Amino acid sequence: MVVAAVVTSCSGSATSVAHRPYTLHVPPSYRSGAHAPLIILLHGFGANGDEQALYFGLAQVADAHGIIFATPNGTTNDQGKRFWNATDACCAPSGSDVDDSQYLANVIQDVESRYSVDPRRVYVLGHSNGGFMAYRMACDHADLVAAAVSFEGAMLNRIGDCTPAQPVSVLEVHGTGDTVISYNGGRASPESPPYPSAAQTVHDWARLDHCSPTPVSLAPRELVRGQPAALVSDYPGCAKGTDAQLWTIPGGGHAPGLNTTFTEQVVEFLLAHPKQ
């Protein structure tokens, strides 16, 4: 079942869910009082929430697990491209003052006010610019977010700018052949500040979550059609049952052809990491 957020006004700030409505997918198995998990799905630059949900095939997986998910949209730049004001590296126009962090926190709280959501199982999942935004949410709203998954995104370049109030589980899924957001770090545009590599991104979160400083290798995962299995690095021993993992797809690009189990595996990571 797909429902739209109730719109009570056409005016207001960019952090208002009335001003920026979102779409909500409610699984057929939902029952009031049952405390369902919630995923906030964050689209990539220039895309929208509905397109992102289709790319991931999230509805089928969410229904199978009884998950509610919301598909909000970023605001548009002067070229009509939707973006999230995630970090200075990606991908808002210079000088943008859009507070997407507060807006998405308001989306979470709005869903919680209207549906029975398990506050221990609120997650964010983002692609590209949405991956950057997923990390921003984990930094700013660790009280709300239990775990974050970024697909082809990156962390803030300066770890000191991320001050989560409590540990948050994170997973970075990244292809070594991505020419848009490089696996090895880089710049989204020549004038943009740098963003860290995928390995540095997860290493930084391992520090924030007080994990072991040395990752271990876990069993590879089949994620992308026509590409070798992803290599899995895991930082064990993180605080409060959290986890920090990197799934490296050899040769994987920025928007590869996902296999039929990709989203199931990502969702299983999220569900395995509720707040303790």
Residue 4 pLDDT class (50, 70, 90 cuts)? very low
Q: What is the pLDDT of residue 3?
A: 52
Q: What is the pLDDT of residue 171?
A: 99
Residue 1 pLDDT class (50, 70, 90 cuts)? low
Among 5, 39, 36, smallest CA distance to 115 is for 36
pLDDT at 9 over 50: no
Q: Where are the domains of the chain?
A: 2-271
- Mean pLDDT, the chain, integer: 94
Architecture of domain 2-271: 3-Layer(aba) Sandwich (3.40)
Over residues 178-187, mean pLDDT: 98
**Measured between alpha carbons, how far is 76 from 99 in angstroms, rounded to an integer?**
13
Q: Could you report how far apart the first and last alpha carbons of the chain are, in Å?
A: 30
**Measured between alpha carbons, how far is 43 from 125 in angstroms, rounded to an integer?**
9
Residue 17, Ramachandran bin (φ over 0: left; ψ between -120 and 50: alpha; else beta): alpha
pTM: 0.95
Q: What's the distance, CA 175 to chain centroid?
A: 16
Map residue 87 onto helix, strand or coil. Answer: strand
Among 90, 85, 110, 89, smallest CA distance to 100 is for 85
Per-residue pLDDT of 212-241, as tens digits, reads 999 999 999 999 999 999 999 999 999 999
Helices (H), 3-120: 49-56, 58-65, 100-114
pLDDT at 10 over 50: no
Number of H helices, E strands in the chain: 6, 14
Task: Tokens 């848009």: give the residue.
Answer: 180
Task: Tokens 């949410």: give the residue.
Answer: 137
Per-residue pLDDT of 190-206, as tens digits, reads 989 999 999 999 999 99
Q: What is the pLDDT of residue 15?
A: 86
pLDDT at 107 over 90: yes
Per-residue pLDDT of 11-29, as tens digits, reads 347 888 988 999 999 999 9
Phi and psi, residue 67, nearest 5°:
-100, 135
Per-residue pLDDT of 110-154, as tens digits, reads 999 999 999 999 999 999 999 999 999 999 999 999 999 999 999
pLDDT at 160 over 60: yes
Per-residue pLDDT of 47-102, as tens digits, reads 999 999 999 999 999 999 999 999 999 999 999 999 999 998 999 998 899 999 99
Phi and psi, residue 265, nearest 5°:
-65, -40
Q: Give percent of the chain above pLDDT 70.
A: 95
Strands (E) across the chain are located at: 2-4, 23-25, 36-42, 68-71, 75-76, 82-83, 117-127, 147-151, 169-175, 186-187, 194-195, 216-221, 230-235, 244-249
